[in-house]
């Protein structure tokens, strides 16, 4: 099932939290070879995880992590402004309805539907919070996923070639997008809405550091 939890709330789910950080280490450092820091526990965490971001997660029936994404408001600190401004041509993102999405991660042996479920979770979060767009950096492996789901970003800039290419994109949130991705994921949009309302208690804004 989908979960919508802030960093502070995630501490109430230690198994979900710890398996997420462990899966991030396996994906980003071991499989993709990114220069990320992994601590003595085998967890991949960075400075932005300490800023109480909002996580969209796929939680397995046993409570473990199946996949996740991290969202942060661009009014506060975020990676796109601090590390990827060159891809935006020097443009700075700072709008209450534009949030950054990073750290798209799949758990080991996650079913194919988890990618679609996470994208549905992102669409649900955006619609649920009344956001207009998500901004994020993605690599070449994600292009096929976005195309299959019918939710492709507007590309603002790219660097590198082939499988090494990374791009900066903008995704537009809308009810139409939410329902389209729900069909692709095989999850009723009403169920995604119920999961969102369960975790956020109907809040129109989630707490995050600014």
pLDDT at 207: 46
Q: Report the predicted TM-score, pTM, of the whole model to 2 decimal places.
A: 0.93
Q: What are the sequence ranges of the domains in the chain?
A: 2-200
Give all strands (DSSP E) within the chain, no chain letters.
Answer: 2-6, 54-59, 65-73, 98-106, 133-139, 154-159, 166-172
Looking at 3.40.50.620, 3.20.20.70, 3.40.50.300, 3.40.630.30, the CATH number of the domain 2-200 comes to: 3.40.630.30
pLDDT in tens, the chain (210 residues): 999 999 999 999 999 999 999 999 999 999 888 888 999 999 999 999 999 999 999 999 999 999 999 999 999 999 999 999 999 988 899 999 999 999 999 998 899 899 999 999 999 999 999 999 999 999 888 888 899 888 999 999 999 988 788 999 999 999 999 999 999 999 999 999 999 999 998 555 544 433
């Amino acid at each position: 099932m989908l979960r919508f939890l802030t960093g502070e709330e995630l501490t109430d789910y230690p198994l979900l939290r710890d398996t997420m950080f462990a899966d991030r280490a396996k994906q980003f450092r071991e499989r993709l070879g990114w220069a990320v820091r992994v601590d003595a526990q085998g967890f991949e965490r960075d400075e932005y995880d300490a800023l109480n971001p909002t996580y969209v997660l796929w939680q397995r029936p046993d409570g473990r992590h199946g996949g996740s994404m991290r969202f942060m408001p661009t009014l506060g600190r975020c990676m796109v402004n601090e590390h990827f401004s060159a891809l935006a041509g020097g443009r700075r993102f700072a709008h209450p309805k534009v949030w950054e999405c990073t750290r798209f991660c799949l758990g080991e042996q996650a079913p194919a539907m988890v990618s679609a479920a996470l994208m549905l979770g992102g669409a649900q979060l955006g619609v649920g919070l009344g956001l207009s767009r998500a901004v994020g950096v993605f690599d070449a492996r994600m292009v096929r996923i976005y195309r299959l789901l019918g939710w492709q970003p507007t590309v603002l800039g790219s660097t590198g070639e082939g499988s090494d290419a990374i791009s900066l994109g903008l995704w537009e949130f809308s009810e139409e997008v939410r329902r389209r991705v729900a069909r692709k994921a095989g999850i009723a949009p009403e169920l995604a809405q119920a999961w969102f309302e369960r975790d956020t208690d109907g809040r129109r804004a989630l707490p995050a550091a600014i």
